[in-house]
Amino acid sequence: MRIGIDTGGTFTDLILYAESSDGQPRLLTHKVPSTPPDFSAGVLRGLRELLTGAALGQVRYDLIHGSTVATNALLERKGAKTALVTTRGFRDVLEIGRQTRAEIYNLNVERPAPLVSRPLRLEVTERVDAQGNVLTPLRASEVERVLDRLERRGVESVAVCLLFSFLHPQHEQRIAALARKRGFFVSASCEVLPEFREYERTSTTVVNAYVSPVMSRYLSQLASAAQQEGAAHVRIMQSNGGSISAQAAGARAVHTLLSGPAAGVLGALHVARQALGERPNLITFDMGGTSTDVSLCVGDVRVTTEGSVGGLPVRVPMMDIHTVGAGGGSIACVDAGGALRVGPQSAGADPGPVCYGKGEQVTVTDANLILGRIDPERFLGGRMRLDVERTRAFMSSWVQAFMRGLEVSDAARAIVRVVNSNMERAMRVISVERGYDPREFTLLSFGGAGGLHACALAESLRIPRVLIPVHPGLLSAWGCVASDVVKDFARTVMLPASERASRGVRSVFAALEREGVGTLRREGFAPNDIVLMRSLDLRYVGQSYEITTPFAGNVAATVQTFHRLHEQHYGHCAPDEPVEIVTARVRAVGRVRPPRLQPIERGTADARAAIVTRRRLGVTSEVATIYDREQLKAGNAIIGPALVVEPYATTLVPPRWRGTVDRWGNILLVNG
């Protein structure tokens, strides 16, 4: 039995998946409000309520958790007091950074302040050259003096990042051992990111040192409480779409910064492979209460090592996800120029939107409620009634203050149009701007608010199909249940991409694979359940950045693949130019038996049995048919305008759209 838990800014989602002795799957779902700043309280409350409702008695289960703890600690600058120990002359790498300018014409850009202030960036006299040879040995007495200073300053966590330590890690290892003996939490770059590029390596190591103590405390408390509730193992989702043990996540929290969004993409791909085929082309659209996450899947998830969080580079494998501050709780406001803006500020879980009863700022959820797109009596399966009159009163006051002359319903439609434009731009970033035509993809919509906006976005981008999965409001929790255990290993090699390099590359691959297999065997995986995947970071000689390319069995074939990928990414390639191997990578996957959806009862195209009522949408002349999703059968047809309501989500089917329910209960919507 597995329980997946995804903690968002507004709600915490839970899914229990089990298989009976005869192999029949059983699925139970639950949703509770998140409880910032102590998210563990909401997790444990939801877990207890889910297990009580399941009436399973004393059972043992695996708990897989998508967590926002590391992300929040970084974005809110509430991590541990951290110091940096580095090679003499390099203490300011964190502040110097790169010359890249995100806003090239803005003369007043303020870069994010470094996580470690200058007085806590200390140097040691040591030096390794670019070939890994020691030029100046490290002196233990100097390290001890540095650690004395850090103790006096109340430092909790130490990041260690020395020049060229990816070639000669012994100096870093020695500093780390001495610091750990003193009781510091230590993050050494040779353990976190043994790759070249000094700034990115330092930034990633510092981020890990900054958030890991916070994550470790959270997971220690959560794992202890969950084990009392019957959890046999507690695993945490990583940004790369795999899970790791709670202990490993506490030590390498930098790998969990996109934990929840990655689980959503993984859940979307898992559902799409059942509904659309083994290698579907997807644009995943996850609209929750606080933000919207979009990603592109061309047959599989896309993983990048060039991500950033909170404006800080984080060079660990993570799903290629683009996030915007547009969710159901996003606050509508009018700026100094009189323009309507929606987000990125959010009402969150507390106080929440106006319709929840406590909030006093108009949000996207309030606008959808005014437009009749949310059934106030069926929100959260009827466990939470939305206050329509309060919402209308606050919306009316807001219109009088900021948009005088408009009707309340017109203002609500304007809010929806603005938030849709924000999300449309995000989808263009991950598709059109990367050389992909949205017309060749299916939009897979999930998150509690996604179904209300999916068809409008598909029309804007000319996406022909929208897939609404089973339990769309809980798909990130489903992704946790479906996740394998994944470990990524890398080593910078800097070799010319010739057949002469094959022996050296294979030697590095072999070392990384031994490390990967050993790690997974210690986590209990049998050899037959371990899959190893090789890739190389390649670039043309003289380029500054690389493309991660699947290893095709030999260097020459891999280089040909690189040329094709370069053409796809940048619109050109240079097959006659020399190519360089920068980094060798191995992904070690411990396969977990995938969960299965139970086929639903077969019906006809006639869906009258699932109709609850018909009512007008807002003040328009459109009369929508309201369907109870739990009553729909495979083969049922849904004709827009319609609302499909379920406990944790609502789907709006506009006029001219029609949907069909597949054998698993997913709804495939098409325009026309």
pLDDT in tens, 47-71: 999 988 877 767 889 999 998 888 8
- Choose among 205, 178, 668, 204: nearest CA to 469: 668
Q: Residue 378 has what pLDDT?
A: 83
Q: Residue 394 has what pLDDT?
A: 94
- Report the alpha-carbon distance of residue 149 to residue 184 in Å, rounded: 13
Q: Residue 617 has what pLDDT?
A: 80
Length of the chain: 672
3 state SS of 239: coil
Q: Residue 35 has what pLDDT?
A: 85
Residue with the larger pLDDT of the pair 72 and 667: 667
- Report the alpha-carbon distance of residue 170 to residue 590 in Å, rounded: 30
Cα 334 to the center of its chain, rounded Å: 30
Q: Residue 421 has what pLDDT?
A: 95
Mean pLDDT of all residues in 261-287:
93
CATH pick for 485-590 out of 3.30.1490, 1.20.120, 1.25.40, 3.30.450: 3.30.1490
Residue with the larger pLDDT of the pair 68 and 509: 509
- Report the alpha-carbon distance of residue 59 to residue 232 in Å, rounded: 9
Greatest mean pLDDT among 57-61, 121-125, 487-491: 121-125
| Residue entry with tokens 């967590």 | 67
3 state SS of 173: helix
* DSSP code for 75: H
High-pLDDT (> 70) share of the chain, %: 99
Q: Residue 134 has what pLDDT?
A: 96
- Report the alpha-carbon distance of residue 424 to residue 432 in Å, rounded: 11
Model-level pTM? 0.88
- Report the alpha-carbon distance of residue 605 to residue 587 in Å, rounded: 45
In 258-325, DSSP assigns E strands to 281-287, 292-298, 303-304, 307-309, 312-314, 318-319, 321-324
Question: CATH 3.30.1490 in the chain, residues?
Answer: 485-590
Confidence at 555, pLDDT banded by 50, 70, 90:
very high
Mean pLDDT of all residues in 14-30:
85
Q: Residue 620 has what pLDDT?
A: 64
Backbone torsions φ then ψ of 366, nearest 5 degrees: -60, -40
User: Per mean pLDDT, which range of 80-84, 251-255, 304-308, 484-488 is the poorest?
Assistant: 304-308
In 168-218, DSSP assigns E strands to 185-188
3 state SS of 53: helix
Q: Residue 619 has what pLDDT?
A: 59
Task: Locate 631 and state its tokens.
Answer: 């009553």
Q: Residue 148 has what pLDDT?
A: 97
Cβ contacts of 204 within 8 Å, gap of 6 or more: 189, 192, 193, 254, 313, 314, 315, 316
- Average pLDDT for the chain: 91
With beta carbons less than 8 A apart as the criterion, state whether 51 and 18 touch.
no
- Report the alpha-carbon distance of residue 351 to residue 298 in Å, rounded: 39
Peptide bond into 119 cis (omega under 30): no
Confidence at 508, pLDDT banded by 50, 70, 90:
very high
User: Per mean pLDDT, which range of 162-166, 206-210, 321-325 is the poorest?
Assistant: 321-325
Q: Is the pLDDT of residue 380 over 90?
A: no
First to last CA, the chain: 42
Write the CATH number of the domain with boundaries 80-216.
Answer: 3.40.50
Q: Residue 45 has what pLDDT?
A: 93
Residue with the larger pLDDT of the pair 595 and 213: 213
Question: CATH 3.40.50 in the chain, residues?
Answer: 80-216
| Residue entry with tokens 């930098």 | 254
